A and B are shown apart, each in its own frame.
Chain A
Amino acid sequence: MSVKKVKVGFFSLTCCEGCEFAVFDLEEKLLKAFDYLEIVESRVLMEKIKPEAVRLDISFVEGSVISKHDLDKLHYIRKKTDFLVALGACAAIAGINGIRNALPEGVQERMKQKAIIPVKEKAFSLSAFVKVDYILNGCSVNELEFLDFLNRVLHGVIPRLEEVPVCFECKLNGNACLLLKGIPCLGPVTYAGCDALCPGQNAQCIGCRGFTKDANFKSLDNLLKEMGIGKKERFNLFTYFNPLPKELRDLRGGSE
């Protein structure tokens, strides 16, 4: 039986391109999926950029929007795509690029002036400009979650986003709680779906999958304060991959 293959594109805006490579690292597992999908566009793999006329069933877009070039490209992708997926933290929540958004005012403006090729004063996630149909979050993206997503979509199911924090997966995996060991961890306020990868290796969660929508930031911040972690370090921690939650506005400009 011949199957009509799903047409897929991979695109990258400003980022480290680790997510696209992480997906290609699925190797044989990805090759198997080639029976059902066709990669139509990928600058990493191909010589020529395809004309606008080629429609795509699914586009995976990694990276943040930080220049006009990024924005033009994003609109171009959106126009020709049925289902657009933000691939990785930079695309989903501005990620590490977003650290510049937390810099003191004035510095951002001077960055904009100094840039050789026009940049925006801030780094943006894709959803700031276009409709994003699904998010595969994380830095880097979890390749098994990607595969799971692909499997479901190929069967006509749109998966539901996980809405539990990393702590949930730590419990499932029987990890010892890092906060109880005195290690500052963002697990309680960060979306799961990574199989609690970092805490599983005795390393703190740094929030790369985005903050949960009902997170109790104040409570976690108080706990960190009780652990003796200074204001500036706490500001650092909460703004690793995410914008500073508005409940924690007071942390800005901390000097200890």
Chain B
Amino acid sequence: MRKTCCFSIKEITKVEGHANLDVELKDGRVEKCELRIYEGQRFFEDMLKGRHFSQVPLIVSRICGLCNVSHLNTSIEAVEKAFGIEASRQTSILRDLTTNGEFLKSHALHLFFLALPDYLGRESILEFSKEENKFLHWGLNLKKAGSDIVRLLGGRIYQTVSLRPGGFTMIPKKEQLGKCLPLLEKERKTAIDAIRLFASFSEKLSFERKTDYLALVDLNYSLVKGKLHFASGKVIEEEDLLKHVEEFIVPYSNAAQTSFEGKSFRVGPLARINLNKKALEPAAQDIIKELGLSFPSDKVYFNNLAQAIELLHLIDSSIRMIKELKPEKEAIQKIKPKEALGIGVTEAPRGTLYHQYSFDEKGFVKKANIIVPTNQNNHTIETDLTEFIPTLLDLPQEKANLEIEKLIRAYDPCISCATHFLKVNWKK
């Protein structure tokens, strides 16, 4: 790569959605580094205006195919908070379990199908050797363990049906839940193998940059509730996120970015483990110790290792939940709308997800605001690349591009989510 040049990487592949990267180098320093997300803006916040609260979760879940359960849960939380509904214990557990299923599915897909080729030096899974093909089976089985849960509880794997404000339209029977157990128990071992595999790569791809982290922290590693912790020390309530995090628009991209006290921060699996590793299931903590892995870490590629560790945690916590659950029939709670503001915050597979709606007295949306994990990470990715690209000057351009794409992919960016936004001034 020349020390002074401009280059673009078009259509970054093996990520969810469409993005380009434009870079300008001068004397080996990055003058400009712009992650251009050109997938069309989808105006979800505007589309929600005037919609009835009962429709809102089902509309926003269409922001993302891969993490639709996370959008549903966050939206449902915001609706329930607005109208003073408290979910029953059973509903909360069923929501946690569905979330676990989606995380398993999403992490397994990203790790084995999108990220692994980068570590093995292959263009894609289609180029895996006979020996490496076994990893695809690891991925498929882990994904299936998650998909089975989502299909049973949500009614289908993508764009699930049964999760609603106030409860579930359908509740599975104990014996149906039990059918998910054998695969989960079998795949525990695969998850452990996956952790060892990704830990063994720690020298292969490495880039470290000290930065801040944000995640929802809860004693039980809940992905749905807790307090928001910043690694730099601040602890805030879910509702106060926007008092501290600033969302801003960059002129070159269809996705917004965010900053905390003027600086970028990371969200996602690494942020969660950095901030809350003590709440992981015992087996996951044990293997961190056994392999001598150190968290908190600023290693970007540890985001993938963190996904693998979460796989084991999610399997163990799902097994426990399924064994304890004794599902009973339960009608969906009736909701009486009123003029109110509702805020929901959860952890999605890729990080902290925020939904905020204000409703009129009949329950129609007046205003909506949604901040997705990828919006928060985009600023961090650009900041990382500004430091990372100058270390690649000795490589031919094509090789350097590949390394840059690998770093972006380690974040598991979700561009469909990131382009949900754009707020238009509505004339009164």
State the A residues within 8 Å of B (CB). Answer: 13-22, 25, 27-28, 43-49, 66-67, 69-70, 95-97, 99-100, 103, 106-107, 110-111, 114-117, 119, 139-140, 197-198, 201-203, 206, 230, 232-233, 236-237, 240, 256
User: Could you say which residues of chain A place their CB within 8 Å of the CB of B156?
Assistant: 140, 197
- Proximity bits, B28-57, A CB within 8 Å = 1, else 0: 000000000011111100110111100100
- 7 CB < 8 A contacts A-B: A14-B40, A17-B17, A99-B59, A110-B426, A140-B65, A197-B161, A240-B58
Q: Is the interface of B mostly helix, strand, loop or mixed?
A: loop
Query: A100 with B52: in contact, given A17-B416, A22-B157, A201-B169 (CB under 8 Å)?
Result: no
Instruction: Give the residues from 106 to 120 in chain B that come closer than 8 angstroms, CB to CB, to chain A.
Output: 109, 113-114, 117
A140 in contact with B41 (CB, 8 Å): no
Any A CB within 8 A of the CB of B376: no
A18 CB contact (under 8 Å) in B65, B109, B126: B65
Contacts of A106 in B (CB 8 A): 427
Within residues 218 to 263 of chain B, which ones have a CB less than 8 A from any CB in chain A? Answer: 249, 251-254
Known contacts being A21-B65, A21-B66, A46-B13, is A203 close to B162, with CB within 8 Å?
A: yes
Q: State whether the Cβ of B288 lies closer than 8 Å to any Cβ in chain A.
A: no
Given known contacts A25-B157, A27-B140, A203-B169, A103 and B46 CB-to-CB distance under 8 angstroms: yes
Give the residues in chain A near B157, CB-CB below 8 Å: 22, 25, 140
* CB within 8 Å for A47 and B58 given contacts A14-B42, A100-B46, A139-B159: no
Cα–Cα distance between A233 and B419 once the two chains are bound (Å): 27
Asked whether A18 lies within 8 Å of B123 as measured between CB atoms, the reply is no
- Tell me which residues across on chain B come within 8 A of A45, comparing CB atoms: 14, 113, 124-126
B264 within 8 A of A: no
Contact yes or no, A46 B17, CB < 8 A? no
Enumerate B151-168 residues with CB–CB distance to A below 8 Å.
Answer: 155-159, 161-162, 164
In the docked arrangement, what's the CA distance between A86 and B254, Å? 25
The 10 nearest A-B residue pairs measured at CB:
A18-B65, A140-B158, A18-B158, A14-B40, A16-B65, A66-B40, A67-B40, A96-B62, A47-B123, A201-B170
Give Cα A117 to B18, complex, Å.
Answer: 13
Contact (Cβ within 8 A) B52 A236? yes
Point out the residues of chain B lying under 8 angstroms from A116, CB to CB. Answer: 41, 249, 251-254
Apart from A43-B11, A198-B161, 15 more pairs, CB < 8 Å: A17-B64, A17-B65, A43-B14, A45-B124, A99-B47, A100-B43, A119-B40, A139-B159, A201-B161, A203-B162, A203-B164, A206-B58, A236-B50, A236-B55, A256-B362
> Which B residues are CB-close (under 8 A) to A20?
65
A67, B90: Cα distance in complex, Å: 44
Closest to B118 in A: A47
Does A18 contact B125, Cβ atoms closer than 8 Å? no
Alpha-carbon separation in the docked complex, A255 to B59 (Å): 21
Cβ contact within 8 Å between B364 and A17: no
- Count contacts on B: residues with CB < 8 A to the other chain: 63
> Counting CB contacts under 8 A, is B425 at the interface?
yes
Distance, CA A47 to CA B40, complexed state (A): 22
Interface residues of B in 82-137 (CB under 8 A from A): 109, 113-114, 117, 123-126
Tell me how far the C-beta of A179 lies from the nearest C-beta in chain B, rounded to whole angstroms: 15
Nearest chain A residue, comparing its CB with the CB of B402: A47
From known contacts A100-B43, A198-B155, infer whether A18 and B162 are also in contact, taking CB-CB under 8 Å: no
In the complex the two chains form, what is the Cα distance from A20 to B18 in whole Å?
14
CB of B63 within 8 A of chain A? yes
Nearest-neighbour CB distance to chain B for A77, whole angstroms, equals 14
Within 8 A of A (CB), among B57-74: 58-59, 62-66, 68
Tell me, yes or no, whether B190 is within 8 Å of chain A by CB.
no
Given A45-B125, A117-B40, do A19 and B424 touch, yes or no (CB 8 Å)?
A: no
| Chain B residues, CB < 8 A from A69 | 38, 40
Q: Please name all residues of chain A whose beta carbon is closer than 8 Å to the beta carbon of B425 when the two chains form the complex.
A: 110, 114
B400 to chain A, nearest CB (A): 15
Which residues of B lie under 8 Å from residue A44 when comparing CB positions?
13-14, 16, 114
Of all chain B residues, the one with the shortest Cβ separation from A22 is: B158
Measured CB to CB, the closest approach of chain A to B139, in angstroms, equals 10
CA distance A66 to B13 in the complex (A): 21
Determine which of A49, A66, A206, A237 lies in contact with B11 in the assembled complex, contact meaning CB atoms within 8 Å.
A49
Q: Does B378 contact A (CB under 8 A)?
A: no
CA distance A117 to B66 in the complex (A): 25
- How long is the Cα–Cα vector from A17 to B416 in the complex, in angstroms? 7
Most chain-A Cβ atoms within 10 A of its Cβ — which of B42, B66, B164, B419? Answer: B42
Say how far A39's CB is from chain B's closest CB, in angstroms: 8
Complex Cα distance, B422 from A44, in Å, reads: 25
**Is B144 at the interface (CB under 8 A from chain A)?**
yes
B377 within 8 A of A: no
Residues of A within 8 A of B43 (CB): 100, 111
What distance in Å separates the Cβ of B406 from its nearest Cβ neighbour in chain A?
Answer: 11
CA distance A236 to B126 in the complex (A): 44
With a cutoff of 8 Å between Cβ atoms, the chain B residues found around residue A99 in the complex are 47, 51, 59
Give CA–CA (A25, B43) in the complex, Å.
28
Q: How far is the CB of B165 from chain A (nearest CB, A)?
A: 13
Query: Are the C-beta atoms of A48 and B52 separated by less than 8 Å?
Result: no
Q: Decide if B147 is an interface residue (CB 8 Å cutoff).
A: yes
In the complex, A216→B170 CA distance in Å?
A: 29
Nearest A-chain residue to B332, judged by Cβ:
A202
B65 with A110: CB separation less than 8 A: no
- A61, chain B: closest CB distance, angstroms: 14
Could you tell me the distance in whole angstroms from the C-beta of B268 to the nearest C-beta in chain A? 19
Residues of B within 8 A of A67 (CB): 38, 40
**How would residues 7 to 20 of chain B score, 1 for a CB under 8 Å from any chain A CB and 0 otherwise?**
00001011011100
Q: Smallest distance from the beta carbon of A235 to chain B beta carbons, Å? A: 9
Which residue on chain A has the smallest CB distance to residue B251? A116
A104 to chain B, nearest CB (A): 8
A14 CA / B254 CA spacing, docked (Å): 12
Q: Give, as a whole number of angstroms, the nearest-CB distance from A71 to chain B.
A: 10
Are A240 and B55 interface neighbours, CB within 8 A? yes
Residues of B within 8 Å of A201, CB to CB, are 155, 161-162, 169-170
